[in-house]
Amino acid sequence: MENFDDAINKILLAAAIVSIVIGLIQHGWPEGMIEGTSIMIALLIIIVVNSGNNYLSERRLAELLALSDLQDVAVYRDSTEPTTMDASELVVGDLINFEMGMKVPADMIMVEGQNVQTIEGELTGEPDNMDKVPITVDNYQQEACGTMMAKSLICSGFGKAVVLAVGTRTVAGVITEKTQKPSEQTLLQEKLATIADKIGNVGTLVSALTFFAQIVRLLLEMYGYMECGTTNIFQQEHIEGCEPLSFVYDSSTENRFYMEILQAIIISITVIVVAIPEGLPLAVTISLSFSSAAMKKLNNLVRKLASSETMGGATHICSDKTGTLTLNKMTTMSLMTLNGQVHKMGNVVDNSLTTSCKAGT
C-alpha cells in the first residue's frame, strides 16, 4: 500500500483498469486485454521490487537492532533464586540484579546497591556520571535519586532494582516516539510527482478538447453543415446508406448518435491513458534497486528504496549531539599557556594573535 502513496502509481493503476475496460468494449476478449495487462505488469514489477527491497531492508535493520539490544538479565520472578532471561522479556514488577558495565534494560527504581553511578548520555547527551542511591523508607521523601533510566550505562557499582516501565513506556521509548516524524519526499520523488501532475492536467485538458471537438462534429452533421458519416470537416465525403443522426432512442436498433457519443467518450479516456509513460516509474525503480544493492555492498543499509538517491548523494551529516557519532568523550587537543604559546599534539606553536592572557583561563 505504501507504493500507492506515489501519485504516478495511482495514475498507472487507474490507466490499467480503464485500458482493460475500453479494450474489451472495442476489441473484445482477449485482444482487448493487451494494453491494460501490459500496464498492470509494469505496475506489478514496480510494487514487487519496491516492497521486496523495503521488506528485506527492514528485516536486516530489525536484526541489527535486536542484536544491539540483546542482553541477558538476572531476574527474581516468583523465586528467591535469579533466573537469566533476555531483557526484552522483562515485565513491570520484576526484580533484577545489575552491575558495572551493564546497560539499564528498563526504567527502574534501585532498592539495593553500593557506589552506583550511571551515564545517561543517550537520553540527555551529557556524559556526566550520575550518582544513584537505593530508595528506602527513610529517604524516599527526601528527593533521593534512585531512578535508573533505560539505555543509560552503569559505570560503577552493583545492586538490585525493580522494573517500573518497559518498551515504549520508558522515558527513552517516549522520547523516540515524540521525535519521530514522517519522512520527506526526495528530490526525485518530487520531480516524479510534478510530472504526474502535469501529465494529469495536460491529459485532462486535451481529452476535454477532443471530446468537445467530437460533439461539435456531431452537431454540425446533425444540422446539415457536414455530410452524413464524414469524420473530417475539411474533407467531406458523402457515404451511401449512412443513417442520419437523431436524438430519438429506439431499443430495437442502434442509434448512431448515442454510439458516436460513446465512441467520443472512449477516445477521450484513451487520450489520457496513452499519455501516461508507464515505463518511466519502472525504469526509475529498477535503477534505484541497482543503486541500493551497490550501497549495501558498502555496508550502507537503505531502508526505503527512494532513500538511495538521498544517501548516495550525502556529503554532510548534521547532528545535534556529537556523542551520537563519536566516543562521547571529551579529549584535550591543544593547551594555551600564560606566555601566549599554544601546545598542540606535543608541538609548541607561536600564537601571534594572543597578546594577553588572564590568570586562570
320 noted as active-site residue: yes
Which positions ≥6 away from 331 have C-beta within 8 Å?
none
Alpha helices in the chain (DSSP H): 7-27, 34-69, 121-124, 171-179, 187-222, 256-275, 279-297, 307-312
Q: How far apart are CA 321 and CA 126, in angstroms?
A: 9
Tell me if residue 53 falls in helix, strand or coil. Answer: helix
Closest of 33, 56, 37, 34 to residue 45, by C-alpha: 37
Maximal C-alpha separation, the chain: 113
Quick one: which H or E segment has residue 112?
A: strand 107-119
Q: How far apart are CA 116 and CA 159, in angstroms?
A: 8
- Residue 274 in contact with residue 202, Cβ under 8 Å? no
Q: How far apart are CA 23 and CA 32, in angstroms?
A: 4
Which positions ≥6 away from 279 have C-beta within 8 Å?
42
Copy the grid coordinates of residue 263.
465512441
Q: How far apart are CA 283 and CA 287, in angstroms?
A: 6
Q: How far apart are CA 301 and CA 59, in angstroms?
A: 11
81 phi and psi angles, rounded to 5 deg: -105, 135
Residues 138, 250, 320, 350: which is the catalytic one? 320
Q: Which residues are catalytic?
A: 320
